[in-house]
Amino acid sequence: MGFEERTHFKVDKDLCIRCGRCINTCAGMVLRFGKDGYPEMKPFERFGWKGCWKCQHCLAVCPQAAISIFGKDPSDSLEPVPEQMGEYMESLVSNRRSCRRYLKKNVDPAILDRILRAMNNAPTGGNAMGVEYTIIDDMDRVKEIWDKAYPVMEEKTSKHIHTHSFSDFFYKKMKESEGSIRKDDLLFCGAPHLFIAHSKCSGKWGEDAKADCIIATAYFELLCNAFGLGTIIMSYSAEVLNELAPEARKMLNIPLNHYTGLIVGFGYPEIKYARGVQKDKGAKVHRFSGEKRI
């Protein structure tokens, strides 16, 4: 089959102004001007580094909506990011806070559908899109996993068997938190839902695949907060499922060779924050700017 057929790359010649933007943004460098002066797809060996990256930048960049690829109609795309998003993003990134108290209520599935649709656009190394999302969006299903994991965690920790990052001291602190911040649930902070980004993180691209999971976790967290949901990123609960209670992890049907270092608990927040915090110590910034040369 020809490459134009495999990608279904089509140019509407009535609309195309031959500006070349599609050619100049093509990550796989598989577009060129054809003999007729309009963009065309070059032959390529295979999808990925040896051909089309399936990134759809050609469709997204065209000011004339003249390009279609993979059967996508450009008019079905979302509008570009509005120019004045900076203030909203500043507020979102600065004021999202970890939430450890939730209403005992399932989230409206329509909100979750929107968030997951947007999550399709989270970047992945090499546009490989190998990351997978497991979502437990029903409180009762979360409770089933909790019922399996929590007693095992209690039993093992009572015998001083802890996950790799924990100890008697840390566990005692977590236990104390069940009186206040993690009401009755040190494991999932009472979150009614869980989100886990996971991927097979081995081989040449293993590091990218792990980064994909972490990026997806961050995107998911921000999207949830943008839609008024509370979130808590948890490494401890992931450790418990991975190291203390494998039977509970099994219930998630996530292959054992997939990275699952973080779990996001999410739901409607019981407590809302009235203002932002004022952290003094942020990341150490090393900035190379201005005229100074090193």
Q: Is 233 in the site for ligand FMN (CB under 6 A)?
A: yes
Size of the residue set binding ligand FMN (CB under 6 A) = 10
Tell me the two tokens of residue 71.
């059967």
- C-beta of 100: minimal distance to ligand FMN in Å? 6
> Residues of 24-41 as b/e, b for ≥16 C-beta within 10 angstroms?
eebebebbeeeeeeebbb
- Asked whether the beta carbons of 8 and 70 are under 8 A apart, the reply is yes
φ, ψ of residue 215 to 5 degrees: the values are -65, -45
- Asked whether the beta carbons of 24 and 80 are under 8 A apart, the reply is no
- C-beta of 179: minimal distance to ligand FMN in Å? 15
Candidate ranges 64-72, 102-110, 140-148, 227-235; the one touching ligand FMN (CB under 6 A): 227-235
Candidate ranges 61-69, 97-105, 113-121, 137-145; the one touching ligand FMN (CB under 6 A): 97-105
- C-beta of 182: minimal distance to ligand FMN in Å? 7
Among 150, 166, 205, 236, binds ligand FMN (CB under 6 A): 236
Q: Is 167 in the site for ligand FMN (CB under 6 A)?
A: no
Question: With the C-alpha atoms ordered 206, 207, 210, 216, is the resulting torsion angle positive or negative?
Answer: negative
Among 94, 95, 98, 167, binds ligand FMN (CB under 6 A): 98
Q: Is 149 in the site for ligand FMN (CB under 6 A)?
A: no
Q: Is 165 in the site for ligand FMN (CB under 6 A)?
A: no
Burial class (CB in 10 A: 0-12, 13-18, 19+), 224: buried
- Asked whether the beta carbons of 223 and 266 are under 8 A apart, the reply is no
List residues bridging with 198 in a β-sheet: 132
Q: Is 153 in the site for ligand FMN (CB under 6 A)?
A: no
**x-or-dash pattern for ligand FMN, window 255-284, by CB under 6 A?**
-------x----------------------
Residue 9: count other Cβ atoms within 10 Å of its Cβ. 21
CB of 7 or CB of 225, closer to ligand FMN = 225
Q: Binding residues for ligand FMN, per CB under 6 A? A: 97-98, 100, 189, 232-236, 262
